[in-house]
Structure 1
Amino acid sequence: MDEKGGAIMLEELAFEIAKAAHAGQTDKAGLDYILHPLQVAAEMTTDEEKAVALLHDIIEDTDMTANELLAQGLPDNVVEAVEALTKKHNQNYAAYLAGVKKNRLATAVKLADLKHNSDLSRLEKITQKDRERAEKYRKAIEYLSK
C-alpha cells in the first residue's frame, strides 16, 4: 500500500525494483544504467508495457530471478514478458527474437529497446563494432515489426 492507502502502482513497483537491482551499473555511454530502462518505458503506453520496459534487462544483467519478481508482487504476464526478453546464455539471436515475437508485451518493449540501443548519437565515440550492432538491431526491428 502507498501513503494514500491504495495499491502501489505497477509502474512504480517496477521502477523501485529496477532501480535497486541496477544500482551502480552504467551503460555503454557511461551513464547510470537505470536511464536506459526509463527511456524505453517512456516510449510505452500501458502500465504493463512500462513495467516490462523498466524490468527488461533485470534477469539478464542482475542476480534477480523471475520467481523473485513474482514474489515482489509483479503480475504473471509482466514477468513472462521479462523472461521472454531475457536472452539465455549461448542462445542463438534468431531463436531469441522468435521467442520475443511470441509475446505481445515483450515485442512492444523489445522494439523500443532496439530503437534506443540503435541511437549512436548517445555515444561519445562510434566504433565499427557500434555500427555493426546498430545494423544487427535494424534487422531485428524489421523482423519484429512484421
Structure 2
Amino acid sequence: MLTVSEVEALARAAHEGQTDKAGRPYAEHLRAVADGVRERGGDDEQIAAAWLHDSVEDDALSAQWLHEAALTGRTKDIVLAVTKRKGEEPTAYARRILAAPGALLVKEADLAHNADPARLAVLDEATRTRLTEKYARMRALLGLMEPNRTADSDRDSPKQP
C-alpha cells in the first residue's frame, strides 16, 4: 500500500502546473484539505483520499489509475464518492458522499477550505457570491454546520456516517 507521503507526492505531481480560481498553485488546496482532515481526526485512509480528492474529477489522474493504485478500497471509495460527475444533481452527489464511510469528513474539509473568506476575498464579487452560495447549499445537503461556528460547537459537527 502507498503511504500518505507517497500519495502526497503523486497528487502534487499529478496537479503540477494547475492553479485554483485565485491563481494559486493547486497543491496548496490539496494540502489544506489533507490538513483539515487530519485536524478533524481523520485517519490515514481519509488523509490519502484528501490528497486525491480532485484528481479524477480534474483528469489529473484517471479512474483506471485509481482502480489499479496500491490504495485501500476505502480510500478509493472516498475519492470516487467526492468526485463530481458531469450533469449530476447536487442531491445525488450529497447522497453518494453520505453513503461512503469516511467521505463526509473529506468533503467537510474541502468545503471549509473552498469557503475560506481569505481565499474567496481575491475573487470578483459575482464569483465570490456564487461560490459562497454553492458551498452553503452543499453544506446544507450534507447536514454540516456553517464553517463560522465556534470551537465549542465543533463537537456537534456530524462525523462520517
Preserved CA contact (<8 Å) 2:91 2:141: no
Shift, 1:145, TM fit? 3.0
Shift, 1:102, TM fit? 0.7
| Residue 47 of structure 2, aligned match among 50, 53, 56 | 50
Task: Give the Cα–Cα distance (whole angstroms) in 2 for the partners of residues 131 and 54 of structure 1.
Answer: 27
Identity of aligned residues (%): 34
Provide the aligned C-alpha RMSD in A: 1.7
2:130 is matched with 132
Q: Secondary structure at the match of 2:141?
A: helix
2:100 is matched with 103
Q: Secondary structure at the match of 2:111?
A: helix
1:114 is matched with 111
Preserved CA contact (<8 Å) 1:60 1:87: yes
Q: Which runs of 4+ in 1 moved over 4 A?
A: none
| Residue 24 of structure 1, aligned match among 8, 14, 17 | 17
Preserved CA contact (<8 Å) 2:49 2:75: yes
How many matched pairs? 139
Task: Give the Cα–Cα distance (whole angstroms) in 2 for the partners of residues 113 and 27 of structure 1.
Answer: 13
Shift, 1:63, TM fit? 4.4
Shift, 1:101, TM fit? 1.2
TM-score of the superposition, structure 2-length normalised? 0.78
Preserved CA contact (<8 Å) 2:15 2:60: no
Task: Give the Cα–Cα distance (whole angstroms) in 2 for the partners of residues 46 and 90 of structure 1.
Answer: 31
1:15 is matched with 8
Where does structure 1 lack aligned partners over 5 or more consecutive residues?
1-6
TM-score of the superposition, structure 1-length normalised? 0.86
Q: Secondary structure at the match of 1:77?
A: helix
Shift, 1:58, TM fit? 0.4
1:4 is matched with none
Preserved CA contact (<8 Å) 1:120 1:130: no
Where does structure 2 lack aligned partners over 5 or more consecutive residues?
145-161
Task: Give the Cα–Cα distance (whole angstroms) in 2 for the partners of residues 125 and 13 of structure 1.
Answer: 33
Shift, 1:8, TM fit? 5.2
